[in-house]
Amino acid sequence: MIALIPIFPPLYLAAFGAFCQLRLLPLGERRVLFFFAAAQLIAALFAPQPLLSLGLAAARTFLILALIAAGVYLRDSRNLRPVLWGQLVIFVTAWTYTLSTQGLAGVQERLGHPYYYVVSLGLVAVVSLWLVTFWRGAAAWWRWGAGLLALATFVAAGSRGPLLALGVGSLAALALGERQRRWWVMIPATLVVVLAAASSSLQLPLKPLDRLLNDQTSGREYVWKDAVQGWQTSPLGGVGPYQGGPYLTYLFKDGCQLTPTLERNEITCPESLSRWSSVWLIAHNAWLHWLLEGGVIGLTGLLAVMGYALWRAVEVGDPLVIAVLFGYTAMNVVDVVVAVPSQHFAELWWVCVGISLVGVAGRVAATSPGAAAAPAAAHQDPPTRPGRAETPASDWTAG
């Protein structure tokens, strides 16, 4: 199922089946999650349409909690490895669709996918690079093949936000990972920067690479301004979840649009979707977006759970979890990659939050008598007695 989620995203709704796993978390972690959930629901009561906002806030919050519970159930980031296979299928689909419909010119305009936005495709490629890099003990032939496909997809997508995530996440994993420092985690980010610099200096005809070192904001400053002005209309509770689109006038004026790849193929937004086009407009900054939709109250809850998860990730020392949490956090400055629902990349972030929260203490609870059975990991955790510290999280040197 994890492998199929990138191909058919609604499968991540299976996370609701793990909801009861939240009871395995220590009391401190449950209090943080309660504060987050309460802040989202209370904020909705101060929105212009409180009943609608309360229903939408409840749905979004329960989905987020379910995804965190799925991370608690998985316990170890090695159980996320199957997502790589589905992501590789997405890359093959993107290349096949773009080349068959637009040829090499389509790649020059930035590689796209029928239902993954260009930036999303770049971020998914970054996650694949991390999975390949940290998957120790696997056969070299497929790791090199998968890594090169992910790298080629990332470069052809030409997205600067994912490049920021790749650089910051890789540096964080290198500096904060509990295991032996592995300098090669920086190879993908370094290689991309070198290629982009070479393309610019040698004037190579590779437009996506040129874009990676472009310092333009692509109009984001206007979107940020709209978000702040929209928030000022309802400072405490915001305008309500999924209701901020009309306030982002810089984006809203363009009407309903599908992915750039479909637009280039003259596939326009169906009339039936036009009325909902504002729902997926984002403020291109996660905290401004949450401030617009949840006000000061909702943003406080988000900051609490994000900050706590980053701290716990460093304590646990799992390099993949560190890379995802810190990389996504950096990219949230210019995009919104933690807002659900998405094509699975935002959901992956919340699952990693669950893995970071379960930590060592959570594993003690998960292995205690009477606890729900956890999925089979790559090794059997040693039995522990209540109150005793357990061995650290996954050993990435094991295959």
pLDDT digits (tens, 9 = 90+) for 27-39: 999 999 999 999 9
| Pair of tokens at residue 22 | 């939240």
Q: Residue 392: pLDDT band by 50, 70, 90 thresholds?
A: very low
Mean pLDDT of 41-61: 97
Q: Is the pLDDT of residue 240 over 80?
A: yes
Longest dimension (CA), the chain: 64
Q: What is the mean pLDDT of the chain?
A: 85
Tell me if the bond preceding 341 is cis, omega within 30° of 0. yes
Rounded to the nearest 10°, the torsion over CA 153, 155, 158, 161 is 90
* Span 349-379, pLDDT tens digits: 999 999 999 875 444 444 443 444 444 443 3
SS3 content of the chain, % helix, strand, coil (to 5): 65, 0, 35
- Got the DSSP string for 78-121? GGGTTHHHHHHHHHHHHHHHHHHHHHHHHHHT----SSS-HHHH
Query: Would you state the pLDDT for residue 234?
Result: 96
By the 10 Å C-beta count (0-12 exposed, 13-18 middle, 19+ buried), 318 is classed as buried
Q: Is the pLDDT of residue 385 over 50?
A: no
Query: Would you state the pLDDT for residue 338?
Result: 96
Q: Is the pLDDT of residue 108 over 90?
A: no
Q: Residue 205: pLDDT band by 50, 70, 90 thresholds?
A: low
70-74, 176-180, 379-383, range with the lowest pLDDT:
379-383
Q: Residue 336: pLDDT band by 50, 70, 90 thresholds?
A: very high
Q: Residue 254: pLDDT band by 50, 70, 90 thresholds?
A: confident
Query: Would you state the pLDDT for residue 279?
Result: 87
The pTM assigned to this predicted structure is 0.86
Query: Would you state the pLDDT for residue 175?
Result: 84
23-32, 96-105, 211-220, 301-310, range with the lowest pLDDT:
211-220
Degrees, nearest 5: CA angle 297-165-311: 55
